[in-house]
Structure 1
Amino acid sequence: MTEPPESRLILFAALAANLGIAIAKFVAATITGSSAMLTEGFHSVVDSLNQLLLLYGQKRSSRPPDEWHPLGYGRELYFWSFVVAILIFSTGAGLSIYEGVVHISDPEPIRSPLINYIVLGLSLLLEGASWGIAVREFGAAKGDHGWWEAIRRSKDPPTFIVLFEDSAAMFGLFVAAAGITLSLLTGDPRWDGVASIVIGLALAGVALALARESKDLLIGEPADPALEAAVRAAVTRRPEVTGVNEIITIHIGPRNIFLGLAVDFEDEVPVGRVEAMIAETETELRERWPSIRAIYIKPQAKP
């Protein structure tokens, strides 16, 4: 299974943006003492690590089937996607909330706020470019479906994970700017800590949503109902077939589907012809839908 170029483009664009942003944020946090800026730095580091893990997962999942994994390694991408969700929750959200609580209990005045605003503006430009690529590519892939429905139907985690991460990052930048501004206007640096907690809660929400989607993919989600209906119609129209009793599909990778069929044949069809027809059907289905990688057809009389 080979990942499409646009999926890798999204990851590389996000990685490049987050690495540059992380460096700028940590430098600004060191100079100004801003808790929200430090939190945003941790957020960018976690995002960079996540992109590396997803690229690693794509590479691992592209390996061909072997003796130990006869259906291939496609689901390994789902595993690393789940790890990414855990990292966002434990590291990104956890550190953000912890840093916010510390800054509220022991507030430290913000120094050189202009540096913070410059870094936030630069981060917004870089993050916005990455977010724009993610929105464009996912928007092109979602077709006529709504955004949330498309995310629920998607079997390619990197596309919607980067979209979620970049959206959370854009939100975090505005919250960090608001926290710094309120601290300066009110003279109370605890607003900076409050901003860190809000950013942490947003990351926790994103992590939980991604964990749920990745969990469902790991357990096993069926193929698109339209594909199942088309497969059923293709098999049923053969003259030797009286009907398809059962059809089971499961995604074992973003573009890797297992298909199981229970087919009722005409009683007078010889066994040898049934075997030939099964082979012909498998060939036809693979030619029409290359994403169907493994097929199991079982003769079964109608109950």
Structure 2
Amino acid sequence: MSAEGGTKAIIAALLANVGIAITKFIAFALTGSSSMLAESIHSVADSGNQGLLLLGGKRAKREATPQHPFGYGRERYIYAFIVSIVLFSVGGLFALYEAYHKYEHPEAITKYHWVPIGVLLIAITLESFSFRTAIKESNQLRGNQSWVKFIRRAKAPELPVVLLEDFGALIGLLFALFGVSMTLVTENGRWDALGTAMIGILLVTIAVVLAIETKSLLLGEGAESHDLAAIERAVTEGPEVERIIHMKTLYLGPEELMVAAKVAVMACDTAEEVARGINAVEARIRAAVPIARVIYLEPDIYSAAAERAGTGSAAPTAAPPTQDAADETAERPGS
């Protein structure tokens, strides 16, 4: 997944959320609306989240070290997981707490009645531009996948995070608009509390979805089926390898895939021929799947009997002892 596309979407969301947060806080200060306060904290949390995503992307570019020989690509997953925690705690739980407080002690909006309506309409406009940017950048990578499949299968976390945050922000703004409008019409502050509660439930739900998807990336996901098929073709299409005995793949980061495989070579090949063959196969893998940057190929001699036995080794099983060897064993003392 393109890092540039993710960065562009993050910056667009960050600029929009900073501006939105300022206007929402002004509206809250003037009206005391709990929906406006919940939305203000939501925008602050989103701004902090985009800052975390940018920080994670920068730290992931560090060179590998002896302590971290595979580099720091997974830092992008870690920061995305932190984003889900921030969204859950700072955004969702705070909104639910504020909803409970305002429901127990409802307050009508008694001054600057139409300020929150104007602020929310401006916020919806700005958030729509941010959401449009995230959709545009995602469409370049999504292909024919549905949006649900794209969010679930994306290896780079930035675009799915921004997409869900912007989607949640737009729906949250509509909830806030509903709560504030009903409060103005009925002069009953419990409508404001209801809108705040709806925002809280929405944010908690999005945070849980983000946490589940990012956790899967942190645990380690293998290559997609189309990349696996391309790797298998690259390994077996030349004369160097008879077959793949077994293979495993693992994403070391959003744009770095590790491939480890045991491959069957000809029993009569010399060490030099095996080495040249392995180098040729690695070159084909990198040409077929450019993100396969770390490749480990172990040459072996295939044995169908060993594979059926499940011994974990494809080397030929040891030949049974000859009759002379059996007689020699029987003649040893203590046998």
Shorter-chain TM-score: which interval? Answer: over 0.9
- TM-score of the superposition, structure 2-length normalised? 0.88
Structure 2 residue identity aligned to 1:164: L
- Determine whether 1:123 maps to 2:158: no
Larger radius of gyration: 2
1:96 is matched with: 95
- Determine whether 1:36 maps to 2:45: no
- TM-score of the superposition, structure 1-length normalised? 0.97
- State the shift of 1:3 in Å: 5.7
Q: Structure 2 CA distance, aligned partners of 1:292 and 1:44?
A: 38
The superposition leaves residues 46-76 of structure 1 with CA deviations (integer Å, 9 ceiling, x where unpaired) of 0000000000000001112121111110001
Aligned residues: 302
Alignment of 1:1-303 (within 5 A): 4-110=3-109, 111-302=111-302, 303=307
SS of residue paired to 2:251:
strand
SS of residue paired to 1:71:
coil
- State the shift of 1:4 in Å: 2.6
Q: Structure 2 CA distance, aligned partners of 1:251 and 1:160?
A: 17
Q: Structure 1 CA distance, aligned partners of 2:217 and 2:15?
A: 28
- State the shift of 1:113 in Å: 2.2
Structure 1 residue identity aligned to 2:208: L
Shifted more, 197-206 versus 281-290: the winner is 281-290
- State the shift of 1:45 in Å: 0.1
The superposition leaves residues 236-256 of structure 1 with CA deviations (integer Å, 9 ceiling, x where unpaired) of 122131101112111111111
Do the aligned partners of 2:240 and 2:278 also contact (CA within 8 Å) in 1?
Answer: no
Gaps of 5+ in 2: 308-335
The superposition leaves residues 2-49 of structure 1 with CA deviations (integer Å, 9 ceiling, x where unpaired) of 963211100000000000000000010010110000100000000000
Shifted more, 133-142 versus 167-176: the winner is 133-142
SS of residue paired to 2:114:
helix
Higher relative contact order (CA 8 A, sep 6+): 1
- State the shift of 1:115 in Å: 0.5
SS of residue paired to 1:113:
coil
Shift in alpha-carbon separation, 1:138–1:3, aligned structure 2, 3 A = closer
Q: What is the aligned-residue RMSD (CA, Å)?
A: 1.3
The superposition leaves residues 85-113 of structure 1 with CA deviations (integer Å, 9 ceiling, x where unpaired) of 00000110011001111111111111322
Q: State percent identity of aligned pairs.
A: 38
Q: Structure 2 CA distance, aligned partners of 1:117 and 1:87?
A: 27
Q: Structure 2 CA distance, aligned partners of 1:152 and 1:222?
A: 13
Q: Structure 2 CA distance, aligned partners of 1:240 and 1:139?
A: 39
Shifted more, 169-178 versus 62-71: the winner is 62-71
Q: Structure 2 CA distance, aligned partners of 1:225 and 1:160?
A: 20
Structure 2 residue identity aligned to 1:56: L
Do the aligned partners of 2:231 and 2:288 also contact (CA within 8 Å) in 1?
Answer: no
Q: Structure 1 CA distance, aligned partners of 2:157 and 2:90?
A: 20
Q: Structure 2 CA distance, aligned partners of 1:68 and 1:124?
A: 47
The superposition leaves residues 216-241 of structure 1 with CA deviations (integer Å, 9 ceiling, x where unpaired) of 00000111211111111111122131
Detail structure 1 runs of 4+ shifted over 3 Å in the superposition.
none
Q: Structure 2 CA distance, aligned partners of 1:290 and 1:64?
A: 19
- State the shift of 1:290 in Å: 2.5
Shifted more, 91-100 versus 280-289: the winner is 280-289
Q: Structure 2 CA distance, aligned partners of 1:246 and 1:145?
A: 29
Do the aligned partners of 2:230 and 2:288 also contact (CA within 8 Å) in 1?
Answer: no
- State the shift of 1:151 in Å: 1.2
Structure 2 residue identity aligned to 1:240: E
- State the shift of 1:280 in Å: 2.4
Q: Structure 2 CA distance, aligned partners of 1:70 and 1:107?
A: 57
Shifted more, 87-96 versus 273-282: the winner is 273-282
Gaps of 5+ in 1: none
